[in-house]
């Protein structure tokens, strides 16, 4: 059996870690063991359930404090957060926005909501995220920087921004990306939907971009049922984010005057109450998820044909979703592995289909995506809840 | 004092109704006196807080049953519901969509999200909503009907749909509007955000349109914190609504394939749990709100210079927000009345600024809006909660 990937053995090792650590067999489920009841009941008792209420303020303050961002604006979900972030930096119809091909569809959708086009970028294996060095080489070939910004010489369109995604919680290599943004006059919008609690060189992901998006969907490390948030250090942008997410209504005692096309994107108070209770438990969730990741890593350390993804040296990951990577010569076994695990109730899933392959994004500009394509073939997510351990 | 509007007396009559009926002084606040806590607690106990969960199903079923629509699809808010409704009927970039100038901004915004332009229509005083007879006369002048649909002869753009809004809960005169839609090949999308529980000739508003939008915002007759729903009798449209609101992901055991640009618009389970408890109380809310409306009507029956709006003969209104209408010769007193009432803690507010006056919609096509303009000058909303009575 040496020099062979032994599927049965793989599943038994996987199961062993999960069972021994009492990890739920699902991919990621919420852990509601704190003050969730207390705060929700408080909302009902006071009648404050909607988008004005003290838990929205509390949640935003706790989030700003935890991440080190100056301002946090709570919204209905991560997609809405990213949509507003892109509007805040001025992404406009006809623009291109650089984003990884290997991401959840919301990243590309939010770009499309602005009338802009995603321009797909390759990933690197050490972070699973956007490869800034490969991107800079690519931009040397295709981009022209003028006083008016960065332009795609092939399409003539403006390249307005770049959206790194901290995939499965693992931080992108931000330093070279920040340099690239400066050289090419690109706005940096971080899609930190998956990386609450993840640090790059000691600094929280989502605090590097001019504005950044977080998610609190039910499958995330901390949940508000459905929810998201915008992070920024810029007071004016925070104010404008609040304005745009509350129908752009001008403050007035009673008059209804709105000064631009706004959105109904604010987080209701009951969702924020849940989130506030979740944030109190976040340090504990992070500790438990890190411990689970280490156990997976150890269990598969010498396993032939597969490895567990480990954070890069500059990163401290939240390990939102743990990742198995098949060696390239075993990728034909991926679907077998998915069937066998899911049949036994251990929920696993492959990488998202690359955005560049989806029917509505097939025609969008893209660079060579060979690493993303390799990761797409090789990657499997395994159960990763903080669980009950 | 005869032939004069006596402001002090008006306020004392208003206050008398409110105080005697123990109506909260706010415009509309939620009444959370049912099973809200029981159902929320159940969500926490079972760990189902997010967008999959039994309360979403229960809420949708209860909503369909109550309204008589075959299908209800729960979403994050009324704006999202209307956005999806417009996409479902095929509103496309460059289209025009007929909508009242007198409405909340979300109606016009949802049209804009589709890349279409609102085309503003006048209201009639007997319903406070879109005037179908005036609209048909207008269309005779400006529209041309071809095999490809209805076109605006002045702009050359397609007029794809008409969006009546049941303003403050009062049903639009639907019969002539349905005829108009047929003659002019217009799709009917009802904005029933404010009219849950309101009937037109015995049939629930929101069941006339091919698809319709409801809202469960915190200020509505029934709330989910923030929320909305799409109603339709068409199974295929209901399925497509579910698909579009859940990122357009194709069903598969694990693969992530999305076949169009979708949205993250589904209602989380905790919000649906709240809404399910609210729907159980809705018949009671309706009874209490009708009784309050009758008391307002009686109190101001012989009052000089002002009247309380009463439902049209064909309508049974939910009386979401009660309406005072000043006589045209007293409109100069409106702001005084707003100041005096709000200063005493009785929340009142004027009509929304007409959409055609907002900076972002100034350039949009519109018909003569004289009735809407008159209503805008004369209308005041007064406290209307189901309250504790």
**A219 and chain B: CB distance < 8 Å anywhere?**
yes
> What pLDDT digit, counting tens, does each position of A267-305 carry?
999 999 999 999 999 999 999 999 999 999 999 999 999
**B300 found inside a domain:** no
Strand partners, B214: B229
- Which of the four pLDDT bands, split at 50, 70 and 90, describes residue A3? low
Mean pLDDT of chain A: 95
Alpha helices, DSSP H, located in chain A: 7-20, 36-46, 54-67, 78-88, 105-113, 132-142, 174-183, 235-245, 269-299, 334-343, 370-378
Place of tokens 């005072």: B324
ipTM of the complex: 0.95
In a domain, B140, yes or no: yes
If one compares B375 and A48, the residue with the highest pLDDT of the two is B375
Determine the structural domain holding residue B146 and report its residue range. Answer: 36-280
Quickly list DSSP for B59-82.
Answer: HHHHHHHHHT-SEEEEES-HHHHH
Judge whether B51 is closer than 8 Å to chain A, CB to CB.
yes
What is the distance between the alpha carbons of residues A301 and A294, in angstroms, rounded to a whole number?
10
Q: What is the pLDDT of residue A82?
A: 98
Q: Is the pLDDT of residue B290 over 60?
A: yes
Question: Residue A171: its pLDDT value, please?
Answer: 98
| Residues pairing with A213 in the sheet | A191, A230
Task: Note whether B105 contacts A: Cβ–Cβ < 8 A.
Answer: yes
Pick A225's closest partner by Cβ from B268, B350, B359: B268
Are the beta carbons of B47 and A30 separated by less than 8 Å?
Answer: yes
Cβ distance A226 to B268 less than 8 Å, yes or no, reads yes
Size of interface A-B (CB pairs under 8 A): 182
- Per-residue pLDDT, B46: 87
Give domain status of residue A231, yes or no: yes
Q: What is the pLDDT of residue B389?
A: 47
Residue B367 domain flag: no
| B174-183 helix and B132-142 helix, angle to the nearest 10 degrees | 20
Nearest-by-Cβ selection for A32 from B44, B271, B350: B44
Which residue among A36, A49, A104 places its CB closest to the CB of B44?
A: A36
- Average pLDDT, integer, range B72-83: 98
Which pLDDT score is estimated for B47?
82
Q: Is A220 exposed, middle or buried (0-12, 13-18, 19+ CB in 10 A)?
A: buried
Give tens-digit pLDDT for A58-77. 999 999 999 999 999 999 99
State the average pLDDT for chain B.
Answer: 95
What residues of chain A lie within 8 A of the CB of B115, using their CB? 115
Q: Is A326 left (phi over 0), alpha (psi -120 to 50) or beta?
A: beta
Residues of A in contact with B37 (CB under 8 A): 41, 44
Q: Which residues in chain B (333-372) have CB-CB distances under 8 A to chain A? A: 338, 342, 348-353, 358-360
How far from chain centre, in Å, is Cα B85? 14
- Shortest Cα–Cα distance, A258 to chain B (Å): 7
Residue of A18, A190, A249, A343 whose CA lies nearest to B79: A249
> Closest by alpha carbon to B169, among B128, B120, B213?
B128
CATH number of the domain where residue A212 is located: 3.40.640.10
Position A364 confidence tier, pLDDT thresholds 50, 70, 90 = very high
> Which of A249, A260, A270 faces B270 most closely, judged by CB atoms?
A270
Alpha helix positions (H), B300-351: 334-343
**Measured distance CA(B356)–CA(A331) in Å, rounded:** 59
Q: Which residues of A touch B225 (CB under 8 A)?
A: 49-51, 268-271
Beta bridge partners of B75: B228, B266
Q: In this structure, is residue A293 part of a structural domain?
A: no
| DSSP one-letter code for A251 | P
Distance from CA of A298 to the nearest CA of B (A): 26
| B106 touching chain A per CB within 8 A | yes
pLDDT digits (tens, 9 = 90+) for A169-213: 999 999 999 999 999 999 999 999 999 999 999 999 999 999 999
Tell me the helices (H) and strands (E) count for chain B, helix number first: 11, 16
pLDDT at B53: 80
Whether the CB of A276 is below 8 Å from some CB of chain B: the reply is: no
Q: Could you give the angle at which helices A269-299 and A54-67 cross, rounded to 10 degrees?
A: 30
Measure B123 CA to nearest chain A CA, in Å. Answer: 18
Q: What is the pLDDT of residue B4?
A: 84
Question: Does residue A119 belong to any structural domain of this protein?
Answer: yes
Indicate the residue of B76, B255, B262 with minimum beta-carbon distance to A76: B76
Whether A377 is in a domain gets the answer no
- Measured between CA atoms, how close is B255 to chain A, in angstroms? 7
Whole-model pTM: value is: 0.97
pLDDT digit string, tens, across residues A95-153: 999 999 999 999 999 999 999 999 999 999 999 999 999 999 999 999 999 999 999 99
CA distance A145 to chain B (A): 30
Instruction: Test A268 with B271 for CB contact under 8 angstroms.
Output: yes
* pLDDT > 90: percent of chain B: 93
B256 contacts in chain A (CB < 8 Å): 104-105, 349-353
A29-33, A105-109, B350-354: segment of lowest average pLDDT: A29-33
Strand B211-215 and strand B187-191: the pairing is parallel
Paired with A162 in beta bridges are A98, A188
In the predicted structure, residue A2 carries a pLDDT above the cut 80 = no
At residue B82, does pLDDT exceed 90?
A: yes
Inform me whether the pLDDT recorded for B162 exceeds 90.
Answer: yes
> pLDDT-based confidence at B193, cuts 50/70/90?
very high
Torsional sign, CA A235, A240, A245, A250: positive
d(CA A283, CA A65): 13
pLDDT above 90: residue B386: no
Angle A128-A133-A139 (CA atoms, 0-180°, nearest 5)?
115
Of the candidates B104, B259, B267, the beta carbon closest to that of A359 is on B259
Tell me which chain B residues have a C-beta less than 8 angstroms from the C-beta of A263: 79, 109
Q: Looking at beta carbons, which residues of chain A come within 8 Å of B29?
A: 47
Between positions 280 and 339 of B, the ones with CB within 8 A of A are 338
Band of the pLDDT at B3, cuts 50, 70, 90?
Answer: low
Residues of A in contact with B348 (CB under 8 A): 254
Residues 6+ apart with CB under 8 A from A263: A80, A83, A84, A244, A245, A247, B79, B109
Q: What is the pLDDT of residues B29-55, one digit of tens each?
A: 999 989 999 999 999 988 887 767 899
Q: How many helices (H) and strands (E) does chain A have?
A: 11, 16
pLDDT in tens, B214-256: 999 999 999 999 999 999 999 999 999 999 999 999 999 999 9
Using the Cβ of B262 and the Cβ atoms of chain A, whether some distance falls under 8 Å is answered with: yes
Q: How far apart are CA A116 and CA B262, in angstroms?
A: 15
Average pLDDT over residues B334-358: 96
* Residues 8-47 in B contacting A (C-alpha not used; CB under 8 Å): 29-30, 32, 36-37, 40-41, 44, 47
Helix axes B269-299, B7-20, angle to 10 degrees: 130
Please give the average per-residue pLDDT across A340-347, as a whole number.
94
Residue recorded with tokens 């159940």: B42
* CB A227 within 8 Å of CB A216: yes
Q: A106 in contact with B at a CB cutoff of 8 Å? A: yes
Is the pLDDT score of A387 beyond 90?
Answer: no
With CB atoms and an 8 Å threshold, state whether B49 touches A225. Answer: yes
Determine the pLDDT at residue B1: 44
Residues 144-183 in A contacting B (C-alpha not used; CB under 8 Å): none
| Cβ contact B225–A49 (<8 Å) | yes
Could you tell me if residue B253 is inside a domain?
Answer: yes
Number of domains into which chain B is organized:
1
Strands A211-215 and A203-204, bridge-based pairing: unpaired
């Amino acid at each position: 059996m040496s020099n062979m990937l032994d599927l049965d053995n793989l599943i038994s090792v996987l199961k062993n870690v999960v069972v021994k650590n009492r990890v739920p067999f699902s991919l990621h489920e919420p852990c509601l063991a704190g003050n969730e009841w207390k705060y929700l009941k408080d909302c009902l008792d006071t009648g404050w359930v909607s988008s004005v209420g003290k838990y929205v303020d509390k949640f935003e303050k706790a989030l700003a404090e935890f991440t080190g961002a100056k301002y946090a604006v709570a919204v209905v979900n991560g997609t809405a957060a990213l949509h507003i972030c892109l509007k805040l930096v001025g992404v406009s119809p006809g623009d291109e926005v650089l984003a990884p091909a290997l991401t959840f569809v919301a990243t590309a959708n939010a770009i499309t909501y602005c009338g802009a086009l995603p321009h797909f970028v390759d990933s690197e294996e050490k972070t699973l995220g956007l490869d800034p060095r490969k991107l800079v080489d690519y931009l040397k070939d295709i981009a022209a920087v003028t006083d008016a910004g960065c332009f795609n010489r092939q399409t003539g369109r403006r390249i307005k921004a770049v959206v790194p995604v901290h995939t499965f919680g693992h931080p992108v290599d931000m330093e070279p990306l920040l340099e690239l943004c400066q050289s090419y006059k690109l706005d940096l919008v971080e899609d930190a939907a998956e990386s609450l609690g993840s640090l790059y060189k000691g600094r929280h992901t989502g605090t590097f971009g001019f504005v950044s998006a977080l998610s609190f969907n039910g499958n995330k490390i901390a949940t508000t049922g459905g929810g998201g948030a915008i992070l920024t250090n810029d007071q004016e942008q925070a104010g404008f984010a609040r304005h745009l997410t509350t129908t752009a209504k001008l403050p007035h005692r009673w008059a209804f005057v709105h000064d631009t096309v706004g959105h109904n994107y604010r987080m209701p108070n009951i969702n924020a109450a849940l989130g506030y209770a979740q944030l109190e438990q976040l340090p504990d969730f992070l500790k438990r998820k890190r411990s689970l990741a280490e156990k997976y890593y150890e269990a598969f350390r010498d396993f032939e044909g597969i490895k567990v993804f480990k954070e890069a040296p500059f990163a401290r990951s939240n390990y939102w979703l743990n990742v198995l990577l098949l060696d390239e010569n075993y990728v034909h076994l991926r679907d077998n592995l998915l069937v066998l695990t899911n049949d036994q109730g251990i929920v696993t899933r492959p990488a998202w289909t690359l955005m560049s392959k989806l029917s509505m994004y097939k025609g969008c500009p893209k660079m060579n995506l060979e690493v993303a394509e390799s990761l797409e073939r090789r990657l499997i997510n395994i159960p990763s809840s903080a669980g009950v351990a």
